[in-house]
């Protein structure tokens, strides 16, 4: 499928709706959204003001959907959106926006800015203005099965190791299980302890689960790049597997964007509600905690702070599960000032972590300074989170700044301290 400017503009026309029109008509250029964006606060560069990132979309809206804009277009008074412009905007729409949605929380006229950025990406993708890194990840997800090009035999191998080290069976393609467990490639490759932790917790809770050999990947690069057609193909694998295996629940892994893709965008992509429930692993853990199943043999003693991943908490609505869980496992949890839905992004969500240009990496390192200040202000050496992507992005930044900070995944931390 070749990408052209015409297709891009067409895609933008398709995504324009009443909320977007209302948002653009309400903006008074107050610039307060900049104060909520870590790419602005950490660089001081006004071009990173969230609403400015939407300028091409705003002009398409104005020129095609308003009387005055159409008049300006006919009389040649308005500037058409060009390939060259979209090319320059690529950095603003991908490298410097992680779809974290913090801007949508502060706009005084109420604009949901991240809602608009997500829509602009449809046009960027259709017109071919996407970073190579995300393009590659999307291609691998569609063609091979996951953004890192991981195939089932490699996953099966990791599962075998997990079975050996926990002594617990990890069922695959088992129909009728309580939960279909999804993973993210990042977890399979970098944090296989997550799978071991999960096996222990399921065993303890007496719940059955299964993996699907044709739908193990939960992440959806189609959403990050902004291509609803590809996103639909990717999410359909999970829906098909869940329906074939007749599971009651699908368990979204710690990964934030995976949750957004499966829980919130999925039904809208396939055009019908699911016949199963999608549960984030933290929601399940919190349910188990409330039932008293999640008993700890001891507590984690080191002082630590929590990083709330944007797509799970602020954008995903898992607001109340994380804190009770960290308090269950940790003796010395220190809440940060901007926590829960107000937390600052790791700097690499929304596909940004897949962009490996020198500029994008330097920008991510700068954006991390806000997290660095949170860590330093709390005076801790440990940060707990529940998203494999946040974790790897922050580990890279911690190396970059040569900080003495350790990152831990919440699920595996809980599993480690679980009563035997």
By CB under 8 A, name the binding residues for other proteins. 16-23, 25-32, 34-36, 40, 44, 46-47, 49, 51-52, 65-68, 104-112, 115, 263-268, 271-274, 277-278, 314-317, 319, 337-338, 341-342
Query: Nearer to other proteins by C-beta: 29 or 291?
Result: 29
Query: Nearer to other proteins by C-beta: 77 or 144?
Result: 77
Least gap, CB of 9 to other proteins (angstroms) = 17
Least gap, CB of 8 to other proteins (angstroms) = 20
Contact (Cβ atoms closer than 8 angstroms) between residue 55 and residue 61: no
Least gap, CB of 200 to other proteins (angstroms) = 28
Q: What is the DSSP string of 297-326?
A: SS-B-S-EEEE--TTTTTTT---SSHHHHH
The arrangement of strands across the sheet holding 304-307 comes to: 304-307, 382-385, 406-409
> In angstroms, rounded to a whole number, what is the distance separating the alpha carbons of residues 23 and 229?
26
In terms of DSSP bridges, do strands 179-181 and 209-210 run parallel, antiparallel, or are they unpaired?
A: parallel
Query: Nearer to other proteins by C-beta: 19 or 136?
Result: 19
Least gap, CB of 262 to other proteins (angstroms) = 10
Query: Nearer to other proteins by C-beta: 16 or 410?
Result: 16
Query: Nearer to other proteins by C-beta: 128 or 222?
Result: 222
Least gap, CB of 318 to other proteins (angstroms) = 8
Query: Nearer to other proteins by C-beta: 67 or 175?
Result: 67
Least gap, CB of 379 to other proteins (angstroms) = 21
- Left, alpha or beta for 410 (phi > 0: left; psi -120 to 50: alpha)? alpha
Report the first-to-last Cα separation within the chain, whole angstroms: 54
Query: Nearer to other proteins by C-beta: 277 or 400?
Result: 277
Contact (Cβ atoms closer than 8 angstroms) between residue 108 and residue 118: no
Contacts of 238 (CB under 8 A, 6+ apart): 180, 182, 212, 215, 218, 250, 262, 266
Contact (Cβ atoms closer than 8 angstroms) between residue 211 and residue 170: yes
Give the distance between the most distant pair of CA atoms in the chain. 76
> In angstroms, rounded to a whole number, what is the distance separating the alpha carbons of residues 145 and 184?
11
Contacts of 309 (CB under 8 A, 6+ apart): 254, 256, 346, 349, 385, 386, 387, 389, 390
Least gap, CB of 343 to other proteins (angstroms) = 12
Helix (H, G, I), strand (E, B) or coil at 12: helix
Query: Nearer to other proteins by C-beta: 264 or 401?
Result: 264
> In angstroms, rounded to a whole number, what is the distance separating the alpha carbons of residues 63 and 74?
9
Helix (H, G, I), strand (E, B) or coil at 8: helix
Least gap, CB of 337 to other proteins (angstroms) = 8
Least gap, CB of 186 to other proteins (angstroms) = 23
**To 5 degrees, how large is the angle CA 146–CA 135–CA 149?**
25
Contact (Cβ atoms closer than 8 angstroms) between residue 355 and residue 325: no
Query: Nearer to other proteins by C-beta: 26 or 157?
Result: 26
């Amino acid at each position: 499928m070749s990408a052209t400017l015409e297709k891009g503009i067409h895609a933008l026309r398709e995504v324009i709706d009443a909320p977007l029109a209302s948002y653009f008509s309400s903006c008074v250029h107050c610039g307060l959204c900049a104060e909520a964006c870590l790419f602005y606060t950490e660089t001081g560069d006004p071009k990173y003001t969230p609403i400015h990132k939407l300028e091409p979309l705003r002009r398409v809206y104005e020129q095609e959907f308003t009387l005055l804009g159409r008049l300006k277009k006919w009389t040649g008074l308005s500037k058409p959106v060009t390939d060259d412009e979209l090319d320059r905007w690529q950095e603003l729409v991908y490298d410097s926006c992680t779809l974290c949605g913090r801007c949508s929380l502060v706009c005084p006229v109420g604009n949901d800015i991240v809602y608009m950025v997500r829509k602009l990406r449809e046009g960027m993708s259709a017109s071919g203005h996407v970073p190579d890194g995300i393009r590659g990840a999307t291609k691998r997800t569609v063609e091979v099965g996951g953004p890192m090009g991981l195939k089932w035999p490699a996953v099966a191998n990791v599962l075998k190791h997990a079975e050996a080290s926990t002594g617990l069976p990890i069922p695959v393609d088992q129909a009728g299980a309580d939960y279909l467990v999804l993973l993210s490639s990042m977890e399979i490759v970098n944090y296989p302890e997550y799978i071991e932790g999960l096996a222990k917790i399921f065993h303890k809770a007496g719940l059955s689960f299964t993996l699907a050999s044709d739908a193990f990947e939960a992440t959806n690069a189609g959403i990050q790049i902004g291509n609803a057609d590809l996103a639909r193909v990717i999410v359909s694998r999970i829906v098909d597997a869940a329906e074939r295996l007749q599971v009651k629940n699908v368990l979204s892994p710690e990964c934030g964007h995976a949750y957004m893709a499966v829980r919130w965008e999925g039904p809208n992509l396939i055009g019908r509600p699911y016949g199963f429930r999608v549960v984030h692993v933290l929601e399940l853990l919190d349910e188990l905690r409330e039932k008293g199943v999640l008993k700890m043999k001891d507590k984690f003693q080191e002082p630590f702070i929590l990083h709330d991943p944007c797509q799970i908490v602020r954008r995903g609505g898992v607001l109340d599960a994380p804190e009770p869980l960290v308090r269950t496992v940790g003796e010395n949890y220190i809440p940060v000032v901007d926590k829960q839905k107000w937390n600052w992004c790791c700097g690499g969500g929304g596909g940004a972590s897949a962009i490996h240009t020198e500029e994008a990496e330097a920008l991510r390192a700068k954006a991390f300074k806000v997290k660095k200040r949170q860590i330093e202000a709390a005076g801790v050496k440990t940060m707990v989170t529940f998203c494999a992507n946040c974790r790897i992005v922050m580990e890279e930044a911690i190396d970059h700044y040569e900080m003495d900070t350790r990152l831990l995944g919440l699920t595996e931390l809980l599993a480690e301290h679980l009563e035997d």
